[in-house]
A and B are shown apart, each in its own frame.
Chain A
Amino acid sequence: MIKVNGISKSFKVAKRSTGVGHALKGLFHREYTTVEALRDISFSIEPGEIVGYIGPNGAGKSTTIKVMSGILVPDRGSCSIMGYTPWMERVPYVKNIGVVFGQRSQLWWDVPVMDSFQLLRDIYKVPEPEYRANLTLLIETLDLNEIVNTPVRQLSLGQRMRCEIAASLLHSPQILFLDEPTIGLDAVSKIAVRHFIQTINQEKGVTVILTTHDMNDIEALAKRIILIGKGSLLYDGNLQALRSRFGTRKTITADYRETDIPLDIPGVSVLSWSTERAVLSVDTEQVMISDVLTQLSRQVELLDVTIDTQPIEDIIVQLYKEYQIS
Chain B
Amino acid sequence: MKMYISVFKLRLYNGLQYRSAALAGIATQFFWGFIIIMVFEAFYSQLANTPPISLTQLITYIWLQQSFLAFIMLWFRDNELFQLITTGNIAYELCRPSEIYGFWYAKLLAQRLASAMLRSLPILIVAFFLPQPYRLSLPPDPSTLLLFSITLILGLFVLVSISMLIYISVFVTMSPVGSLLMFGVIGEFFAGMVIPIPLMPVWLQHIANLLPFHLAADFPFRVYSGHIPKEEALTGIITQFIWLAALVGLGSFAMRRALRRVVVQGG
Contact = CB atoms under 8 A, between A and B. Distances in A.
Contact of B2 (A69, A104, A125, A180): A125
A71 B94 contact: yes
Contacts of B267: 62, 101-104, 179-180
B239 interface: no
A119 B14 contact: no
A99 interface: yes
B262 to A, nearest CB: 7
Contacts of B17: 110-111
B93 to A, nearest CB: 9
B3 A104 contact: no
A71 to B, nearest CB: 4
Interface stretch (A89-97, A154-162, A239-247): A89-97
Contact of B14 (A110, A123, A124): A110
A118 interface: yes
A111 B16 CA distance: 10
B92 A104 contact: yes
Given A103-B267, A110-B14, A111-B13, A122 B95 contact: no
Interface string B1-34: 0110111001001100100000000000000000
Nearest to B13: A111
A103 B266 contact: yes
A60 interface: no
Nearest to B3: A122
Contacts of B89: 104-106
B177 interface: no
Contacts of A179: 267
B88 A108 contact: no
A73 interface: yes
A122 B94 contact: no
Contacts of A92: 97
A92 B95 CA distance: 10
B263 interface: yes
A95 B262 contact: no
Nearest to A111: B13
B221 to A, nearest CB: 32
B99 interface: yes
B91 interface: yes
Nearest to B84: A104
B99 to A, nearest CB: 7
Interface in A134-191: 179-180
Contacts of A116: 10
A257 to B, nearest CB: 54
B97 A124 contact: yes
Contacts of B10: 108, 111, 115-116, 119
Contacts of A73: 260
B97 A71 contact: no
Contacts of A124: 96-97
Given A62-B267, A105-B89, A91 B97 contact: yes
Contacts of B87: 104
A102 B267 CA distance: 8
A176 to B, nearest CB: 11
B98 A91 contact: yes
Contact of B91 (A71, A91, A121): A71
A119 B6 contact: yes
A32 to B, nearest CB: 13
A141 to B, nearest CB: 22
Contacts of A106: 89, 92
Contacts of B262: 71-72
Interface in A76-133: 90-92, 94-95, 97, 99, 101-106, 108, 110-111, 115-116, 118-119, 121-125
Interface string A5-44: 0000001000000000000000000000000000000000
A105 B266 CA distance: 14
Given A73-B260, A108-B14, A115-B10, 12 more contacts: A66-B264, A91-B98, A94-B96, A99-B92, A103-B267, A104-B87, A104-B89, A111-B17, A116-B10, A119-B10, A123-B98, A125-B2
30 contacts: A11-B263, A69-B95, A70-B94, A71-B91, A71-B94, A73-B260, A91-B97, A94-B95, A94-B96, A99-B92, A101-B91, A101-B92, A101-B267, A102-B267, A103-B266, A104-B89, A105-B89, A108-B14, A111-B13, A111-B14, A116-B10, A118-B6, A119-B3, A119-B10, A121-B6, A123-B97, A124-B97, A125-B2, A179-B267, A180-B267
Nearest 3 Cβ contacts at the A-B interface: A103-B267, A122-B6, A106-B92
